[in-house]
Amino acid sequence: MEQGKIHTFIEEGIGWIKFYHPKSNSLPSVLLNEIAGAIHLYDKDASVKVIAIASEGDKAFCAGASFDELLDIKNESEGKNFFSGFAKVILAMKESSKFVVARIHGKAIGGGVGIAAAADYSFALDTASVKLSELSIGIGPFVIGPVVERKIGLAAFSELAINATEWKSAQWAHQKGLFSSLYDSEELMDAELKKLLNHLSSSSIEAMHKMKQMFWEGTAHWNTLLYDRAAVSGSLVLSPKTKEILSQFKKA
């Protein structure tokens, strides 16, 4: 259970990926690899018309990187390998020929913001505040930076990344374009989510594929860029100061 789990199933042309981790849906390597793998499998499955990503539990949508695993990183190679997990998920979402829709029911931090940004459409509750906390632990949002900047623009991304201890409201995230739709209840959000997913599952696969290519035009270089960024994060996380901060968070 400490590694978390994912639950995948296909329902009426919708390929669901639901992830869970007992520590606020944080993401260790095993979960990152499984999420990316599930997206690739759905992309090849002709019975899947659209992909939906959600997390389980009633608290955070995703707390980002697993602090336990960050503490265990001993060298730059291990660091790059860990942060490459986020690159794999973002690239899988980007490269999928099918639309990826995200359900954001709670707070999103770090990599969780990256998943929300990589989704082609996102539904969120009005309590789903966001934060890029990486700088506060001595690293930075390098891997997720390109996808967040693409979605909300450089000014908003810079604001979020520099003020690393401040939560931004779901309303702010909606205004900046991170969240496509915002709701004041899960019931309403899920009803609208189901409506869109059902519509997409019956829409033209070819048209949606062409639209996806159009939306992500100009990102082909990310296949190199995100792994280069993973190396940067993997190096910074070895800092004694970062290790000290992570240890304090773990004890809290």
C-alpha 208/C-alpha 216 separation (Å) is 12
Residue 231 CB coordination number (10 Å) = 18
Fold of 5-201: 2-enoyl-CoA Hydratase; Chain A, domain 1 (3.90.226)
Q: What angle do CA 209, 98, 115 make, to 5 degrees?
A: 125
Q: How confident is the model at residue 128 (pLDDT cuts 50, 70, 90)?
A: very high
Mean pLDDT over the full length of the chain: 96
pTM of the model: 0.96
C-alpha 35/C-alpha 43 separation (Å) is 12
Model pLDDT, residue 8: 98
Instruction: Tell me which H or E stretch contains 18.
Output: strand 14-20
What are the domain boundaries of the chain? 5-201
Judged against a pLDDT cut of 90, whether residue 39 lies above it is answered with yes
Mean pLDDT of 147-166: 98
Model pLDDT, residue 251: 67
Q: How confident is the model at residue 1 (pLDDT cuts 50, 70, 90)?
A: very low
Provide, rounded to the nearest whole percent, the portion of the chain with pLDDT above 90: 95
